[in-house]
């Protein structure tokens, strides 16, 4: 599972401003396409499927970087909590470079969690300061830290201290709490000398109810670049294809984009050469995804987590709705297999139909 990213030439510290850039300096100079972290989505099973079917390590394939799901640093600091959370930090070599994403409003716990991430062999650490979920914000973590900028800076600096100059630290956040605050929020983050700022083009208030504002992201990019620091700026919000991602990198002058919901049901998303699959192939990959989930996560996660993936996999072909309903009503892998095989046997004319990835 675990081994350290040993290319020391790329683990350089910028002497002028003490920013450890690490793998961020190895990403494509014309812009990177990165797989976003999503709770109960980008777990080890899903990342394995993405790595396999997006041809990671091959030209024109694979995301330029991976994330874990976000993990509570407070939980990791607890003797009882840590063993229950470590499954979130399992990864394969095919997923490199990979960042561990952690969250808390407690600087001490973030420092300890960062040191753990170094020991586990991650290529980078990302601080979640963007999650809008109510329970996370009630803790003063996630996007709530936008409201407490001085504490946010303490959290960032503690995380960097825990990383001990060995791997880069980035921040994933939003443009503001209830309104656009990038004119003060982005400079506050830059003060802490992070390797990258990943900016979601929405405030916490609007959640995902309106389109992401990429003009705000572009303005943030101007602020970052005017700082003279090597910090990367990555845009996030509503990217649904590789083509769109590449276009937005150029149009909004960012160093890369994060892809979130665009990868649902589409393990081939990052494979530039794969645009279509048969219905049968898509369903077989869905079953493979389920098998890996059960092998790696059945003791940690409810099987119902897979159902959000079924909604995405089973779409866009004749009979999809009926099959999807059956899958959503199923509670075991055996039932899922039975329904898929029955569908393929009963729909010979559908299973070889080519559909967009």
- The DSSP bridge partners found for residue 198 are 172, 234
Q: What is the pTM of this model?
A: 0.92
Contact between 231 and 224 under an 8 Å Cβ cutoff? The reply is yes
> What does the block give as tokens for 18?
């003490």
pLDDT digit string (tens) for 144-156?
999 999 999 999 9
Q: Is the dihedral of CA 139, 142, 146, 149 positive or negative?
A: positive
Rounded Cα gap, residues 39 and 347, in angstroms: 34
Phi and psi at 248, nearest 5°, equal -70, -35
Whether the CB-CB separation of 209 and 164 falls below 8 Å is answered with: no
pLDDT digits (tens, 9 = 90+) for 217-268: 999 999 999 999 999 999 999 999 999 999 999 999 999 999 998 899 999 9
Does the structure show a pLDDT above 70 at 6? no
Write down the catalytic residue from 117, 131, 137, 192: 131
CA 327 to CA 306: how far, in whole Å? Answer: 10
Known active-site residue 131: yes
pLDDT reported for residue 17: 56
Q: Backbone phi, then psi, for 289, in 5-degree steps?
A: -60, -45
pLDDT tops 70 at residue 8: no
pLDDT band (50, 70, 90) for residue 3: very low
- Calculated CA dihedral for residues 292, 297, 301, 305, nearest 10 degrees: -10
Condensed to tens digits (0 to 9), the pLDDT of residues 294-336 reads 999 999 999 999 999 999 999 999 999 999 999 999 999 999 9
């Amino acid at each position: 599972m675990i081994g350290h990213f040993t290319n020391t030439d790329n683990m350089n510290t910028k002497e002028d401003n003490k920013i450890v850039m690490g793998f961020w300096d190895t990403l494509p100079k014309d812009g990177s396409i990165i797989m976003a972290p999503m709770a109960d989505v980008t777990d080890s099973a899903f990342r394995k499927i993405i790595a396999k079917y997006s041809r990671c390590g091959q030209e024109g394939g694979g995301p330029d970087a991976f994330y874990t799901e976000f993990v509570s640093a407070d939980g990791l600091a607890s003797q009882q909590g840590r063993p229950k959370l470590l499954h979130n930090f399992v990864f394969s070599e095919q997923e490199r470079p990979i960042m561990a994403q952690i969250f808390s409003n407690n600087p001490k716990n973030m420092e300890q969690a960062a040191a753990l991430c170094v020991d586990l062999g991650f290529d980078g650490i990302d601080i979640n300061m963007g999650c809008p979920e109510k329970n996370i914000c009630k803790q003063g973590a996630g996007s709530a830290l936008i409201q407490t900028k001085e504490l946010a800076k303490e959290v960032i600096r503690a995380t960097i201290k825990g990383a001990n100059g060995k791997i880069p630290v980035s921040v994933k956040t939003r443009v503001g709490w209830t309104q656009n605050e990038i004119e003060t929020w982005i400079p506050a983050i830059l003060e802490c000398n992070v390797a990258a700022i990943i900016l979601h083009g929405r405030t916490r208030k609007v959640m995902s109810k309106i389109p992401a504002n990429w003009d705000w992201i572009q303005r943030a990019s101007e602020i970052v670049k005017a700082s003279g620091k090597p910090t990367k700026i990555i845009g996030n919000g509503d990217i649904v294809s590789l083509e769109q991602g590449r276009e937005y990198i150029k149009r909004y002058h960012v160093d890369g984009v994060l892809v979130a919901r665009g990868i649902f049901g589409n393990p081939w998303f990052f494979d530039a050469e794969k645009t279509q699959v048969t219905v049968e192939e898509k369903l077989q990959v869905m079953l493979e995804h389920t098998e890996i989930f059960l092998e790696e996560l059945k003791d940690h996660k409810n099987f119902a987590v897979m159902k959000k993936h079924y909604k995405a996999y089973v779409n866009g072909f004749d009979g999809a709705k009926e099959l999807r309903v059956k899958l959503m009503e199923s509670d075991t892998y055996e039932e899922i297999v039975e329904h898929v095989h029955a569908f393929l046997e009963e729909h010979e004319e559908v299973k070889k139909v080519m559909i967009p990835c």
